[in-house]
A and B are shown apart, each in its own frame.
Chain A
Amino acid sequence: MDAEAQDRFREFVENRSSALLRTAVLLSGGDRHAAEDLLQNALVKAADRWHRIDEPEAYVRQILYRQQISRWRLKWRRRELTVAEPPETGASPDAAPDAELRLLMRGALARLTARQRMVLVLRYFEDLPEADVARVLGCSVGTVRSTTHRSLARLRALAPELAALGPAEIESQPSRDFSPVEVRP
Chain B
Amino acid sequence: MNVDELVRDSLRELADEQTSAGPGFADRVLVVRRRRRTRRIASVAAATAAVVAIGVAVPLLDSGKEDVRPADVVQKSKDVAHPDQSPPRDLISAGNTVLAAYYVPRTVKHSANRAERVRDYWLLDQKTEKYVKTTKWSYVAVAPGMKTAAVLERNLPASRIGMLDLATGKVARWIEVDHDVAGLSFSRDGLKLVATTYGGNPDQLVKTEGSDFWDQQQPSTRTGFYVLDTVSGQGSWSEVKLTSDPNDPMGDSFINARQDFALSPDGRHVWAGNPMGDIGKQFYDLSGAEVEVPANQKHLEWYVDAWQSPSGRLVAGGFAGKKWKTSSWVVDARTGRQTEVHGQQLLAWVDDSSLIAWDIAPNGKNEFHQRLVKVTIGSDKTVPLSGFRKGNDGDAGRWEPVFAER
Contact = CB atoms under 8 A, between A and B. Distances in A.
A17 B11 contact: no
A179 interface: no
| Most chain A beta-carbon contacts within 10 A, residue among B4, B37, B245, B248 | B4
Contacts of A120: 7, 11
A120 B18 CA distance: 19
Contacts of B1: 98, 101, 165-166
Given A21-B18, A30-B14, A40-B29, 8 more contacts: A21-B21, A22-B18, A43-B26, A44-B32, A109-B10, A152-B4, A152-B7, A167-B3
Interface string A1-43: 1110010011011100110011101100010100011011101
B20 A17 contact: yes
Contact of B250 (A67, A106, A155): A67
B21 A17 contact: yes
B27 A169 contact: no
Interface string A100-132: 011001100100000000001100110000000
A2 to B, nearest CB: 7
Contacts of B20: 17-18, 21
B9 interface: yes
A101 B6 contact: yes
Contact of A75 (B12, B16, B245, B365): B245
B25 A17 contact: yes
B7 A18 contact: no
Nearest to A44: B33
B247 interface: yes
A180 to B, nearest CB: 20
A84 interface: no
Interface of A: 1-3, 6, 9-10, 12-14, 17-18, 21-23, 25-26, 30, 32, 36-37, 39-41, 43-44, 47-48, 67, 70-71, 74-75, 98, 101-102, 105-106, 109, 120-121, 124-125, 152, 155-156, 162, 165-171
Contacts, number: 134
B370 to A, nearest CB: 14
Given A44-B33, A124-B11, A165 B6 contact: yes
A107 to B, nearest CB: 10
Contacts of A23: 15
B33 to A, nearest CB: 4
B280 to A, nearest CB: 13
A117 to B, nearest CB: 9
Nearest to A14: B26
A166 B13 CA distance: 20
B3 A166 contact: yes
Contact of A125 (B6, B8, B32): B8
Contacts of B244: 75
Contacts of A47: 29-30, 33
A44 B11 contact: no
A76 to B, nearest CB: 9
B358 to A, nearest CB: 17
